[in-house]
Structure 1
């Protein structure tokens, strides 16, 4: 339990640092989102291909069903990343990260459309998430509608990708009989990002760069994101998706605190400096978003 909680908190920190790394790449270094996505996934894919032979489960042979789940996971994940990184190029990471808790409202909508009723606790969580999002959107200047649309799009794509993560892992577990906490989940990370690396490789000719500096600037994001994904999948495997999602939502609070630190250090091109009254309201709204996630996922148990 203690290890799982630590991994969950590290996931929240890792997400926050990765968001800052992507904003540094696109804003500070002036490079396009497409270059970060392509080069980042080529780097992560190379690491995963080296690791895959050591992580491959005994008795596992990919089936059409497994490939279908993996393809769905990859497709929605890429869409989510495009939306998220585009929003981070437009505004501070400390404003975007807390809004990702709106995924609970997206999940609620999907559940209703699929005819799955929600509990009263879950509806309370959804209402709190919407209220928190309204405050976060309003404090410090209203976000442009395009940024808001990109964040909502990212939440929707992440929610759909989560369903395929579960399917991909469960198929591999049933096939191999390996129900250990970390074996199959970590293998799944390597399979996902190894596949993404292969997909990204031919795109280097369009969106990649031959300059060493561009690859050097990509490295922080790629390293942080891959390590964060290992921690995330391990958290889900250790604690389950319920508590894992709650711990993951701490990225909003962490991103705001990191934003205060960066603004205080004078990095105003990455994080705008706001008064303590504004920061206090944003922290309160981010905490409310965390509580909303807790109520939603706990109410669905």
Structure 2
């Protein structure tokens, strides 16, 4: 290296360095010692080794092209699980919030307080969801109104009827006894898709229906049984929620597969949710003048319920986007267990307007029935084959 001509001396890392000629070097002023030429370096870039193994397209999902390899699977799973459990928790909390205000608020505890709360809250949520519809609406125009309007109206109407029935039952019975019965929706779905849509169920799904009915019977045993009126309201509510679910599936399919629509399922689901709540607010708007609060403080119940419910719905769709519909529905079904546990906690803390105090045997029976309902829903959605 030391005896090599200046023109061809190599640098330490393997790149070729071009050294100034002796004539150029003599023009460089020196302070002390022997004259050393000032080099003019032109380093060639080192070649980047090409890794062997799978390519980036094989390693990362298409929708996360820049995600670190070790982050995406773990984060996607745990974010979805956390969002699903948060949706279940806030659903259970929304039942407690609504029951508390319907039973204690001066403007809601008399007469049709539950209906007043539904109208006020859904008018608010409809207003909030209008900009959400504009934000999520596809840039290419989306499907025609004739494709999306019928399922939107069907979903909104069925959902509102179900909510009215549920709120009326909630005024009579604590949420911890009603929320687990929402799992009977799969029995209603089974009847609708078999009788009216002509889609036969497999053995696994019929076992799930049987488990859900068994859980409902377990909740009706002994002195803990629901009044006949409340049970009837819950059955109608489950039927309406099943119709709403089928309608929103049709709506999402129309948004993803409709003419001109280029939406993913999560995007379409969020847009469908926003459209549904706008339709709910529009349907209830004629009732608003008679149902709106008389004082500014009267908006407190509607605002609190709307916030809690929207957090639950946003968390649910975030969960569905991360872990899919199967696991997402199973996570959401834990709201029954959470309602039972929260009910026992609030009763222990003295909130007897929300929940009644029960003995340990009754509490364990409710938890077991709620867990059986969750297992039924899991079996319904999971394809064990």
Q: Settle same-fold status: TM greater than 0.5.
A: yes
Q: Which residue number in structure 1 is paired with residue 381 of structure 2?
A: 297
Q: Which residue number in structure 1 is paired with residue 152 of structure 2?
A: 70
Over 3 Å counting, the alpha-carbon distance change for 1:213 and 1:137 in structure 2 is farther
Q: Does 1:217 align with 2:217?
A: no
How many angstroms does 1:287 deviate by?
Answer: 0.6
Q: Which residue number in structure 1 is paired with residue 71 of structure 2?
A: none
Q: Is the 8 A contact 2:98 2:301 kept in 1?
A: no
1:26-69 superposed Cα distances (whole Å, 9 cap, x missing partner): 11225101110110011111211233332222113442121011
Over 3 Å counting, the alpha-carbon distance change for 1:84 and 1:60 in structure 2 is farther
How many angstroms does 1:240 deviate by?
Answer: 3.2
Is the helix fraction higher in 1 or 2? Answer: 1
Over 3 Å counting, the alpha-carbon distance change for 1:240 and 1:176 in structure 2 is farther
| Equivalent residue for 2:184, pick from 99, 102, 108 | 102
- The TM-score, its normalising length taken from structure 1, stands at 0.94
Q: Which has the higher contact order (CA 8 A, sep 6+)?
A: 1
Query: How far apart in 1 are the matches of 2:237 and 2:294?
Result: 30
**1:1-301 paired onto structure 2 within 5 Å:** 1-29=77-105, 31=108, 32-61=113-142, 62-114=144-196, 115-138=198-221, 141-174=224-257, 175-299=259-383
Runs of 4+ in 1 over 4 A off after TM superposition: none
How many angstroms does 1:147 deviate by?
Answer: 0.4
How many angstroms does 1:280 deviate by?
Answer: 0.9
Q: Is the 8 A contact 2:153 2:279 kept in 1?
A: no
How many angstroms does 1:86 deviate by?
Answer: 1.0
Over 3 Å counting, the alpha-carbon distance change for 1:300 and 1:218 in structure 2 is farther
What is the SS of the residue equivalent to 1:285?
helix
Query: How far apart in 2 are the matches of 1:123 and 1:139?
Result: 27
1:96-138 superposed Cα distances (whole Å, 9 cap, x missing partner): 0001111111122223313322222212211111111111123
1:208-237 superposed Cα distances (whole Å, 9 cap, x missing partner): 222112211221111111221222233334
Q: Is the 8 A contact 1:39 1:204 kept in 2?
A: yes
Over 3 Å counting, the alpha-carbon distance change for 1:209 and 1:189 in structure 2 is same
Q: Is the 8 A contact 2:330 2:378 kept in 1?
A: yes
How many angstroms does 1:179 deviate by?
Answer: 3.8
Q: CA RMSD in A?
A: 1.8
Q: How many residues align?
A: 301
What is the SS of the residue equivalent to 1:294?
helix
Q: Is the 8 A contact 2:161 2:240 kept in 1?
A: yes
Query: How far apart in 2 are the matches of 1:224 and 1:60?
Result: 32
Query: How far apart in 2 are the matches of 1:134 and 1:128?
Result: 10
Q: Is the 8 A contact 1:57 1:183 kept in 2?
A: no
Query: How far apart in 2 are the matches of 1:74 and 1:45?
Result: 11
Query: How far apart in 1 are the matches of 2:222 and 2:135?
Result: 48
Q: Which runs of no fewer than 5 residues in structure 2 stay unpaired?
A: 1-76
What is the SS of the residue equivalent to 2:367?
helix
What is the SS of the residue equivalent to 2:276?
helix
Over 3 Å counting, the alpha-carbon distance change for 1:176 and 1:8 in structure 2 is farther
Query: How far apart in 2 are the matches of 1:179 and 1:195?
Result: 21
How many angstroms does 1:299 deviate by?
Answer: 4.6
